[in-house]
Chains A and B, each alone.
Chain A
Amino acid sequence: MNQILGKFYKTTLILFFLLAIYTILNVNQKEKNILRTNLELEDITNLNTDKVYLLDKNGYLVKVDVFLDSKTPDDKIKKILDYLRVNKHQKTTDLKGYIKENIKILDYKIEDKNIKINFSKDFLKDPQEKQVITGIVYSLLELEGIEKVSFLVENEPLKKYSNLTKEIGINNEYIMDNTNNIKKIVLYYIDSTNNYYVPVTKYLNDEREKIEIIIDELKNTKKNLISFINNATELLNYKEEENVLYLNFNNGLLDKNKEVTEKVLNTIAYSVFDTYKINTVIFEINNEKLKMIQKNNN
């Protein structure tokens, strides 16, 4: 009798253990799928998602769409900062946060469109300090009406990290061999898993107009980054009128199905928005209007 009871307990325990593993894996997979469909989510819906920047496996800060349900700006900031915590995502996606657990957020406030975040002193011990700063700044600047981000440690303002804007650049790359014609442009690629947009701020020597450089650069993929713009793409002409940039391309912009994918249009439009003070991009192919993309939609 004892043997039968023992077998019964053993079997029950094993079944319980297997059920627990299945449940954990299933939940993780569901969460993974939610993030994995990020680009599709952005492309096919008009839902009001929030944008945050997380680290991918190659060390790039990538732009991620998330739903952060909150009613007040204060609550939204709290949720964003919480979302950027180191251990928040590691079990569910290839992406990870970067605010370490030992770093406490003492308080934060919004003053004149400037979010001021007060960290505990451990913040200054983080060797990845610059990447953390960039990720937080870019994530918080996605909030409507926010123009600057400032950092304090134990109530002391950090002079070098005050009033930061997107001027600081993200995933910065410096390809300069002299001081002539230095240009700063922002290029949007797709990450190596084909799920997220990745902005790269590039400093280079080039005498051409920035939009010409952007299109040329985006024809090439980079290590661990993808661009879907065909090599046959030519920017025939362009003009700027009242905050609108008109880009007229040849047929090279079309894919093999004679269509232009959202990813191609978005990578160009997002690059323009972050490089110029432009709110609208109108795409044309051989002078025929194809699509208009506005800044607030990205």
Chain B
Amino acid sequence: MMETARSLPSIWRVINLWIVWIVLIFLLLPILIVIPSAFNTESTVTFPIHGFTLKWFTNAVSRAEFIRSFFLSVSVSVVATLISLAAGGLAAYAMVRRSFRGKGLLELVLLSPLIFPSIVLAIALTMVLGSLGLLRTFPGLVVAHTIVTLPYAVRAMIGTFHSIDPSLEEAAAVLGARRIFVWREVLVPLLRPGLLAAAIFSLIMSFDEFAVSFFVVGPGMTTLPIELFNYTEFYSDPTICAVSTILIILSALAVVAIERSVGLAKLMS
């Protein structure tokens, strides 16, 4: 019994391992091609590469529109993240601790940007922001990005709130703590893993955002992904590979930070 139980699945285990590798390669191959291409001496994106150079990196960081759009992307993602953390934290608290009429509906609405095709969201936002006169403005961009990042923030924090024992809040209240003191001294410290995960997710999602931004940005108010797209309309050199490489490194650092602090597995559950 034990014999067959061990020997039979061992074949499957080998097959399994191969499938995992194939999937991994499939997922990583485009990225693995982008990185060497950034150092290619050829002035078109080709693979394999013909020589080593850093000129595309130099070109990337010397172009004013990349620098400007990089800082715009950073500002938008930071502001959208801060709003998502504050609003999402309170929303997650209500979802976990309170029962109220329409809770299910609110949850659906809050998480809907996750399921909606982003093009639908983009068109809807263009119409709304347009009529409010917020199209091609910083606040408009922040609103659009917050809608994208909020569901991630809410999800990450709902999970953490579930793991916080409700009697801790009661114990704090009994010991003389008002609501604000309970939040500051008990809830926020215990929510830290959730806040961190929400922040990292939200920053990446916003920084990376393309479809919605595409409809909302305008001259002088363009985020980095859109600027990269625009660049490819006129040039086909590996500069975009250089920028992509920088972004890949930044994202990888963020993933490592999540893994170190909370653990990816816990975050995804």
The answer to whether A binds B is no
Residues of A near any B CB (own CB < 8 A): none
Residues of B near any A CB (own CB < 8 A): none
